[in-house]
Amino acid sequence: MNRRSLIKAAGKAGAGALAVTALGGAMARAASTEPRAASAKPRIHVGSDPGIGRWSHAKSTSHEAGWTDQFQGMCTDGTYWYAVSNEGDNQRLHKLTLDFSSTVASLSAPRGSDHIGAPTFDPQRRQIYVPIEGPEPELIWKVSTGLSTVGIVPLAGRTPGSPAPQRWKCPWIALNPSDGLVYSSVFGDPERNDLDKYVDRVWAYDRDTGLLKKEIRLPSKVYAVQGGTFGNGGRNLYLASDYEEAGNERKHVYAYDFSAARDGSAVRSWGKVAIPDADDEVECVVFAHLTWRNARDTHITVGILDDGVFSGSTDNVYFRHLAVPSPGLI
């Protein structure tokens, strides 16, 4: 079931987001790509403008395989991809080779998961975190890189047992390497009339206790947030939206300055970039350095799910890979 159907049927926000936090990212290799290790960590700049308005589309790729059925996002540890599939009663986390040609392993989602969303990689602990939606509370599913469950952490408010502000909504999760907290938000459905009507803040939780540690306000409302990821050092947050803005009827990735984000404070916006040819469902934004044989290097990838396939067919996933003018400022 896709996000739109899930919302209409259950009144709950699904998740399809991606969050890649490993510096340097992974070098994907498809038919026209060539892997290459990052030579060095980019220089970290405090409060740096990533120049999102000058990001440009450099490459498109597509895939159709078992892991693409109801694809909800992915992350990387720099060696493998970890992709989430929310297909019916076969919800799984897949470990894939960098060229997406082989599934190394897969792991079923915990029993009772209504919806599993976009994962994030914790480079400090070498673990993958997957958000789970269902009856409250929402959960963090912790998985080793060898694909075994390490633990399940319920999200909460400021005190143990209190409800998390997102309630049953957890459409994406992203680890911020600067403070070791995991961030998320509601989905933001403009057709609703409750706390999920729009996204105007994000929340940060302790990855071990699930307790709420920060509430960060955004400078303006955003809708249909499907994915999020932090850039170098966690100083910038990027959100991917499946909402077509009235001004240009395009979907966008938004950038926010988190270099000085404190509990209860508001952050500034660095702007946005339109996602090219995003006619289907935007599911994630990925921070990963990709090297191509026939295109410029890219550092941001947006995942798009085409689930409008015939019964019995496999969903298609499309990637829009974006080149950035100054990778060290991401």
Residue 140 has pLDDT above 90, yes or no: yes
- For residue 281 the two structure tokens come to 């469902």
Q: What is the pLDDT of residues 255-286, one digit of tens each?
A: 999 999 999 999 999 999 999 999 999 999 98
CA distance 24 to 196: 34
Does position 6 have pLDDT exceeding 50, yes or no? no
Radius of gyration of the chain (CA): 18
Whether residue 142 lies inside any domain: the answer is yes
Closest among 141, 130, 149, 152 to 284, alpha carbons compared: 130
Number of domains composing the chain:
1
DSSP three-state, residue 52 = helix
Residue 312 pLDDT grade (very low, low, confident, very high; cuts 50, 70, 90): low
Residue 200 lies in a domain: yes
Q: Report helix, strand and coil shares of the chain as percent, to nearest 5.
A: 5, 40, 50
pLDDT of residue 46: 54
Confirm if 129 and 180 have CB atoms less than 8 A apart: no
Q: Say if 203 falls within a structural domain.
A: yes
8 Å CB contact between 253 and 206:
no
**pTM for this one?**
0.86
Say if 229 falls within a structural domain. Answer: yes
Q: Contact at 8 Å (CB) between 81 and 26?
A: yes
> Per DSSP, what are the bridge partners of residue 202?
216
Measured distance CA(135)–CA(126) in Å, rounded: 28
User: Is 124 within the bounds of a domain?
Assistant: yes
Interval 136-151 mean pLDDT:
96
Please report which helix (H) or strand (E) contains residue 132, including its range: strand 127-133
What pLDDT, in 10s, does the model give residues 184-216? 999 999 998 888 899 999 999 999 999 999 999
Q: Which burial class, exposed, middle or buried, applies to 103 when counting CB atoms under 10 A from its CB (0-12, 13-18, 19+)?
A: middle
Position 175 in a domain: yes
Kindly state the average pLDDT of the residues 37-46.
42
66 three-state secondary structure: helix
Domain range enclosing 132: 3-37+67-308
* Three-point CA angle 69, 285, 39, nearest 5°: 115
48 falls within a domain? no
Return the CATH number at 132: 2.120.10
Alpha-helical regions (H) of the chain = 3-10
Whole-number Å distance between alpha carbons of 186 and 59? 30
- pLDDT exceeds cutoff 60 at 44: no
Are residues 45 and 38 in contact, defined by beta-carbon separation less than 8 angstroms? no
What pLDDT score was predicted for residue 218? 98
Cβ pair 129, 139 in contact under 8 A: no
In a domain, 261, yes or no: yes
Coil/strand/helix, residue 169: coil
Q: Flag whether pLDDT at 4 surpasses 50.
A: no
Q: How far apart are CA 303 and CA 28, in angstroms?
A: 14
Query: Which band of pLDDT confidence, cut at 50, 70 and 90, is reported for residue 10?
Result: very low
